[in-house]
Amino acid sequence: MATRPCGWIALMALGLAVLACGGPTPPPSTTAPRPTATASLPTELPTATTPLPTELPTASAARPQIVNTAVIHKPGDSWRLVGELANNTGQTVSNVALHIEWFDASGASLGSDSADLLTTHVAPGETAPFIYNVYTTGLQIAHFTAAITQSTADATPRSAASAVLVKSPSVKVDAFGNFHCVGELDNISGQPVDIEGLAAGLFDHNGAMFSADSFWAAGQHLEPGGSTPYRISPEGLAGAVAADYTCKVYVDAVAAAPATPPAIIVKDANGNGNFTDDLRFYQDVYGGIHLVGEVMNAANQPMTIKLIAGLYDAGGNVIDADYILLPVAVPPGETQAFDFNTLLTATAGFARATVQADPYSTAPAAAAQAPIKLGNVAIAHDKGAIVLTIDVLNDQPAAVKYATVMATATDATGAAVAFNYTSTNEIAAGATGSVILTLYLDPALDPNELNVNVVALAPQP
């Protein structure tokens, strides 16, 4: 791999801030800068998913019931136990704990364990899914029981499911056979709501429940008339056909106080008043999907920022959704690049993208990070990527637990076209830590015409 100049490099060390309260704390990242591709699933298909009889605890019609249970034999000799809890009471049921026990055809117990629902609260007349995986090999599970061992009645008024419209739900199957339930949530209640839980149950063409999961991406606060794309990804199987399955979406919403939209602005690089055409959507040479852009903090204090992205087709239907938490808090008036790089590969029909800050998890930050010195930065080109080997010098009087290292590639107009970040291990006072950071580029770009900016930040000692 030859080392050669790549435009010019601006080496900067800026003092930013990290979250103190009011939102999730961005932990130091020790993962590789690029997500590892999902391994292909086994090609053996599970057995038919006709609903199997389940022993239910004796209960009256006015008590929560376990319904729609199914046992699925998965490839690799493991088992999936799924079902729903139906709230037949007149109050919200919360914090439900289940005791699950599985049996062979003779009725002999093969094991038991506890499980939880995939949403915390279940409003009157609504249902919530659960899933439990049994990985012990050599079993022949015929049926299982699910008994409610704990629940609390919740007097908090919760929005009915009809208050949040699940718009244009659909099922996607990616190249590895994984399922993805995507769509949009629209707040039609006339009042603000918080989405405290969101899950999906996957049902096969026989109407039998096949899988379930909680959400991957969705905005969690919606003002009246507001909307958010979502993605929920139940476990899949190789060879699955999307047309054979449907998704049932479970929304756990509660009336909320109005929230002022965070003063986070997606940068309109070309100044035409439409930021969506400033977002760069591309597939890199390794097959990864990227949505790159920049946001500006227009607030008067540092902000920890969570962004939600939606990909839409020409008809306005969601084909994917993703989220990111920016690696450091953004100071007032500053701009930060971003890259949604855990998008699906099944994005045929893409027409436009949206990016919005989620008020539920975007909040002021107080604990500042200090600048930390950069040493040598070596650049190499590798098949449509820029590989940076970066030395970070701890010139502070004490050890730092980690340093966040960010790199942004910009084109001749100054617009961000690629972004990535990583974290160092602990660096002793006066010592040097090194990281390798890769920028995965749009194949349409010439790496030699790009500028690269590298920034290192560390928590204050």
pLDDT score, position 158: 66
Please report, in tens digits, the pLDDT of each residue of the chain (461 residues total).
443 334 443 433 333 222 233 333 333 333 333 333 333 333 333 433 434 333 434 344 578 999 999 999 988 899 999 999 999 998 999 999 999 999 999 999 999 999 999 999 999 999 999 999 999 999 999 999 999 999 998 776 665 556 899 999 999 988 778 899 999 999 999 999 999 999 999 999 999 999 999 999 999 999 999 999 999 999 988 888 899 999 999 999 988 999 888 899 998 776 776 777 789 999 999 999 999 999 999 999 999 999 999 999 999 999 999 999 999 999 999 999 999 999 987 678 899 999 999 999 999 997 768 789 999 999 999 889 999 999 999 988 899 999 999 999 999 999 999 999 999 999 999 999 999 999 999 999 999 999 999 999 998 76
In sequence order, the 6+-apart residues with CB closer than 8 A to the CB of 446 are: none
Residue with tokens 């928590």: 459
Helix (H/G/I), strand (E/B), else coil: 11: strand
Distances in whole angstroms, Cα of residue 203 to Cα of each of 56, 119, 179, 358: 21, 18, 11, 30
CA distance 402 to 387: 21
Q: Is the dihedral of CA 340, 169, 185, 160 positive or negative?
A: negative
Helix (H/G/I), strand (E/B), else coil: 278: helix
For 85-137, the DSSP string reads: EE--SSSEEEEEEEEEEEE-TTS-EEEEEEEE-SSSEE-TT-EEEEEEEE--T
CA distance 69 to 363: 40
| Length of the chain counted residue by residue | 461
327 Ramachandran zone, left/alpha/beta (phi>0; psi -120 to 50): alpha
Distances in whole angstroms, Cα of residue 24 to Cα of each of 217, 280, 325, 329: 15, 27, 9, 11
pTM of the predicted protein model? 0.83
pLDDT score, position 113: 98
pLDDT score, position 326: 97
pLDDT score, position 177: 82
For 174-200, the DSSP string reads: -TTS-EEEEEEEEE-SSS-EEEEEEEE
What domains sit in the chain, N to C, each tagged with a CATH number? 9-17+367-459 (2.60.40.10), 65-154 (2.60.40.1620), 161-255 (2.60.40.10), 264-312+335-364 (no CATH)
Which amino acid is located at 210 in the chain? F
pLDDT score, position 421: 98
HEC letters along 382-435: CCCEEEEEEEEECCCCCCECCCEEEEEEECCCCCEEEEEEEECCCECCCCEEEE
pLDDT score, position 250: 96
Which amino acid is located at 247 in the chain? C
